[in-house]
Structure 1
Amino acid sequence: MNGTMQVNETLKDGLKRGYNVTITADELNAKVTEKLEEARPSVEMKGFRKGRVPMALLKKQFGPRLLGEAMQEAVDGAMSSHFEQTGDRPAMQPKVEMANRDWKEGDDVEVSLSYEALPDIPDLDASTLSLERLVVTADDDSVQETLQTLADNAKNYETKKGGKAAKGDQIVLDFEGKIDGEPFEGGKAEDFPLVLGSGSFIPGFEDQLIGAKKGETPDVTVNFPDDYQAPNLAGKEAVFSCTVKEVKKPVAAALDDELAKKYGAEDLDALKAQIAERLSAEYAQAARAVMKRNLLDRLDETISFELPPSLVDAEANQIAHQLWHEEHPDVQGHDHPQITPTDEHRKLAERRVRLGLLLAEVGRKAEIRVTDAEMTQAVMNQARQYPGQERQFFEFVQKNEQVRQQLQAPIFEDKVVDHIFAQADVTERSVTKDELKAAVDALDEDEAEAATA
């Protein structure tokens, strides 16, 4: 270390490191003096000209205040110098504690420094990896199937003359609901279009209108669910007096240029081209997910190195905590029993930490960076979830380093994965969309089994 600072190793066990750092009183005093000399020209004090205050008086007046600042700078400098000399990179924030708790001004400062170092990670030769990319072509049948779905979603309803309302039909009705004979807020509407079987209303409401005809005035009796969003209605029986004003049958939209214009295309051919392009992009994205999983599985199986226990513990606790909340969605806060990770949670945590460190090292050596433009796009995508509050979300992200890291991490990981793909030996295999779907479903099943095991 520089100057009179002393550093003695107290622990070296695996990745665990411990050091005792001594900063002499003379060094602290020199730092305080240096700070006072810098400030001296601008200091004004009664009885002295500006910049002419004696150093002894400055030390008496401002020394104690600057001592803590000098001490912090000395400790930070010692840590920076230590990491520069040893090449260690701490896995998490180092723990720094005063060793001589009875310290008083004039004493040397003894600091205890402890951390877990990041391990030496083996070099990855991506050119030795053989990977397979599934390829699905957006054929005419797939395009036609999607086109038909769009037509079904754009269907119209025409008057059903003299017929009874069936499931899938749309009825136009007036209704007024009452509980114990008294109307309630939100229980009345006129000319309301309701598709029977859509599940838009309280369970049982739509079923009781099947078979109704225009002009009929049926009463519909239903029970609000116990967990209904309005507490004053939850669990109560209501009677709705209805008037059926019209019964309509669904009519699918024709596959023509008019349909295309509804979806923003010039004509039907242009809409088909858009569908083919979108399907191709969806297939490619799904195929990439399958190839990425295969890559990560391969890396997890073949590359091994010592893992920092603190990172594994933190990841295992996070996994266990997240899964507990998924199983108990009614508990929003953290007022719950202590959650202990299982062996399976730790196994999954070890995989995530290992792969995370490996990809981070590959990205570091390849000098992969997340650009400002990529971060801006990520923030914009996230901000869309808060309509009307986009500006506040942008400001929140700017002030919150942890949130920025959460947004940046998946972008960085994907760029590293693409970097590995570009170097690996990748072969393509044509499959059907059903085969691709099965491969994607298998990924979801594996994740579910790993999380709940």
Structure 2
Amino acid sequence: MKTVETENKGLKRAYEITIPAKEIEARVDAEVKKVAPNVRMPGFRPGKVPPNLIRKMHGEALQADALNNSVQDAVQKTIADNKLRPALQPEVALADGYEHGKDAVITVSLEALPDIKAPKVDGIKLERLTVEPDEKAVTERVEQIASSQKSWKDAAKTKKADKGDLVVMDFVGKVDGEAFDGGTGEGMEVELGSGRLIPGFEDQLEGVKTGDEKTLNVTFPDDYPAENLKSKPATFDVKVTAVKTETKTKIDDDFAKNMGLKDLDQLKDLVRDQAAQELNGLTRTHMKRKLLDQLAGAHDFDVPPSMVEAEYQNIMNQLRHEASHEDDAEAALKEIEADADDYKAIAERRVRLGLLLSEIGQANGVEITQQEMNRLMAQAAQQYQPEQQQQFFKYIQENPMAAAQLRAPLYEEKVVDFLFEKADIKDKKVTREQLEAAIEAEDDAEAEKAKAPAKKKAPAKKAAPAKKEAAKKAPAKKAAEKKPAAKKEPAKKAPAKKPAAKKAPAKKKAPAKAK
């Protein structure tokens, strides 16, 4: 095998490799001997089929396998001989004009990971901003939960329904005088002013009393989901069976029990624990940002352009997706594209920090256990259909690059934990507002550092998607709410075009097996 280096610039490497025809033929011969005992052919005893007939029957497949194996071995040998660590999968191409029986010439191009001097992990000093759960905030959160669970009581029969009241009714919907499918129901509850039903329906219920019967005249919207009802005028004959007014929910043990808890103290404990977890997440986010700042400031080295480009595309795709849901999507997209250079710089910083953390982890024995890897695969497999999950597991097991991508986020957190253990950390008590302000300032500072030297002033609060951990506030989860049984409702208002309630994404197909 003959190898010639054709490019050596920065982290880019390219080679031209010539694989002798005799080497490929030797592999074909070896494969013929390997399969011969299992080849069956009329007129020959098992295992006695002549090699030339085996070649005639399976020669094309054997030749392809031999060439493919020769190429793989040649690439791996070139990488090993030159002590390279490819950043991504090398690009391999067979030269045009290859014919069986001739030497095979292939070109290999790749980007190598940089050589990083052993990073120092001692002497790191960090400040840990801590926040004690605020009992006032716990009380407010419990009150929010209570306010979200409205209670109703029957009003006097003479009470005229007004906005904010609950009207209970039976109804029959008609188009052209004929009842239509889905337009009839009993015991329907609608809160006036909620805007849940088609335009005009709730407005015409204002002023009704228990026992009233009324015919409502409405027109279905042009974008109504049911094709047979779009833009059609309709009537609804309704009979009001009750008018109810909202009552303030009393926060006591019974309130907690209605949500499946033991008592009010248990509800408060759950809210308090959740607040503590959220605050701990914010504390870690801030401290991790400070750690990464120190690492980035102390190390500078070239990073593979292909890795930067991949990270940049991830950032831009995320931002474009978010912009597409803004009120003025076109303006939001233009703003993002105008700052594309800034995001490219942020991508480079991310890649550099990722490589640095990986180097620290390898140098200090940080590992992902098989049990942790199995858990990662099980979690990732949930996004696929059940019948495709086994295919996903096989794909990860057979593709080191895919396994590395799946492992990377957890590995980074384990390296960060290792560095926290090494660091000199001083605690400082702050308020939640101060902690959130510090994180916000870090967002802006990271964007500025990544863009330096900046060509223009950063847009106000343009906090790039800068490896935020749990920077967003996670609302405390509500305790399980008891909901009334679903009832058939009159025609609902067509969903707004703005995706208020997103459709669940279809589960992905398992990746095709790499060839």
TM-score range, shorter chain: 0.7 to 0.9
Of 34, 38, 51 in structure 1, the residue corresponding to residue 34 of structure 2 is 38
- TM-aligned CA deviation for residue 396 of structure 1: 5.8
Residue 74 (str. 1) matches residue 70 (str. 2): yes
- TM-aligned CA deviation for residue 292 of structure 1: 2.9
C-alpha distance 14-277 of structure 1, shift in aligned 2 (>3 A): same
Name the stretch that deviates more: 186-195 or 443-452.
443-452
Partner SS state of residue 128, structure 1: coil
Q: Deviations over 1:155-184 (max 9, x none)?
A: 421112243434433221233445565554
Residue 96 (str. 1) matches residue 106 (str. 2): no
Which residues of 2 match residues 224-243 of structure 1 at below 5 A? Answer: 224=220, 226-234=222-230, 239-243=235-239
Residue 115 (str. 1) matches residue 113 (str. 2): no
CA distance in 2, matches of 1:240, 1:436: 55
RMSD (CA atoms): 3.7
Partner SS state of residue 276, structure 2: helix
Q: Deviations over 1:379-400 (max 9, x none)?
A: 66667789xx6x3464464355
Of 230, 233, 242 in structure 2, the residue corresponding to residue 246 of structure 1 is 242
Aligned residue in 1 for 2:417:
418
Q: Deviations over 1:41-61 (max 9, x none)?
A: 444556655445555555555
CA distance in 2, matches of 1:227, 1:68: 57
CA distance in 2, matches of 1:406, 1:230: 44
Partner SS state of residue 127, structure 1: coil
- TM-aligned CA deviation for residue 233 of structure 1: 4.3
- TM-aligned CA deviation for residue 33 of structure 1: 2.3
Which residues of 2 match residues 314-325 of structure 1 at below 5 A? Answer: 314-325=310-321
Partner SS state of residue 11, structure 1: strand
- TM-aligned CA deviation for residue 13 of structure 1: 0.9
Which residues of 2 match residues 255-334 of structure 1 at below 5 A? Answer: 255-328=251-324
CA distance in 1, matches of 2:90, 2:123: 37
Aligned residue in 2 for 1:333:
none
CA distance in 2, matches of 1:63, 1:324: 51
- TM-aligned CA deviation for residue 280 of structure 1: 0.9
Partner SS state of residue 171, structure 1: strand
- TM-aligned CA deviation for residue 412 of structure 1: 3.0
Partner SS state of residue 168, structure 2: strand
C-alpha distance 23-360 of structure 1, shift in aligned 2 (>3 A): same
1:419 aligned partner, one-letter code: F
Of 10, 13, 16 in structure 2, the residue corresponding to residue 17 of structure 1 is 13
- TM-aligned CA deviation for residue 112 of structure 1: 1.2
8 Å contact from structure 1 (residues 398, 404) kept in 2: no
CA distance in 1, matches of 2:364, 2:227: 58
- TM-aligned CA deviation for residue 239 of structure 1: 4.9
- TM-aligned CA deviation for residue 261 of structure 1: 2.3
Which residues of 2 match residues 55-74 of structure 1 at below 5 A? Answer: 55=51, 58-59=54-55, 62-74=58-70
Q: Deviations over 1:408-443 (max 9, x none)?
A: 443333333323323233322222233344455667
Of 140, 143, 147 in structure 2, the residue corresponding to residue 145 of structure 1 is 140
CA distance in 2, matches of 1:282, 1:83: 46
Note the residue ranges of structure 2 that are not aligned, 5 or more in a row: 327-335, 448-460, 466-515
8 Å contact from structure 1 (residues 217, 242) kept in 2: yes
CA distance in 2, matches of 1:300, 1:179: 68
C-alpha distance 406-53 of structure 1, shift in aligned 2 (>3 A): closer
- TM-aligned CA deviation for residue 21 of structure 1: 0.9
Note the residue ranges of structure 1 that are not aligned, 5 or more in a row: 331-338
2:166 aligned partner, one-letter code: Q
Residue 6 (str. 1) matches residue 2 (str. 2): yes
8 Å contact from structure 1 (residues 170, 247) kept in 2: yes
Q: Deviations over 1:292-319 (max 9, x none)?
A: 3343444444432212122223333343
CA distance in 2, matches of 1:425, 1:307: 30
Of 347, 350, 359 in structure 2, the residue corresponding to residue 349 of structure 1 is 347
- The answer to which structure has the higher helix fraction is 1
Task: Give the TM-score taking structure 2 as reference length.
Answer: 0.72
CA distance in 2, matches of 1:231, 1:296: 56
Greater relative CO, 1 or 2 (CA 8 Å, sep 6+):
2
C-alpha distance 111-246 of structure 1, shift in aligned 2 (>3 A): same
C-alpha distance 50-252 of structure 1, shift in aligned 2 (>3 A): same
- TM-aligned CA deviation for residue 12 of structure 1: 0.4
Aligned residue in 2 for 1:336:
none
8 Å contact from structure 2 (residues 20, 104) kept in 1: yes
Aligned residue in 1 for 2:361:
363
Q: Deviations over 1:103-151 (max 9, x none)?
A: 3333222211111111223433343333333322223322222222333
8 Å contact from structure 1 (residues 24, 108) kept in 2: yes
CA distance in 2, matches of 1:68, 1:22: 17
Aligned residue in 2 for 1:160:
155
8 Å contact from structure 2 (residues 381, 392) kept in 1: no
Name the stretch that deviates more: 409-418 or 49-58.
49-58
CA distance in 1, matches of 2:414, 2:187: 54
8 Å contact from structure 2 (residues 382, 389) kept in 1: no
1:320 aligned partner, one-letter code: M
1:350 aligned partner, one-letter code: E
1:269 aligned partner, one-letter code: D
Aligned residue in 2 for 1:427:
426
CA distance in 1, matches of 2:175, 2:294: 63
8 Å contact from structure 1 (residues 348, 450) kept in 2: no
Partner SS state of residue 249, structure 2: coil
CA distance in 2, matches of 1:62, 1:40: 11
Task: Give the TM-score taking structure 1 as reference length.
Answer: 0.80
8 Å contact from structure 1 (residues 317, 340) kept in 2: no
Percent identity reads 41
8 Å contact from structure 1 (residues 131, 291) kept in 2: yes
Q: Deviations over 1:174-228 (max 9, x none)?
A: 3344556555443333211223344433455445544543234455555655544
C-alpha distance 295-245 of structure 1, shift in aligned 2 (>3 A): farther
Partner SS state of residue 105, structure 2: strand
C-alpha distance 159-42 of structure 1, shift in aligned 2 (>3 A): closer
- TM-aligned CA deviation for residue 32 of structure 1: 2.1
Partner SS state of residue 122, structure 2: helix
- TM-aligned CA deviation for residue 9 of structure 1: 0.9
8 Å contact from structure 1 (residues 98, 111) kept in 2: yes
C-alpha distance 316-215 of structure 1, shift in aligned 2 (>3 A): same
Aligned residue in 1 for 2:168:
172
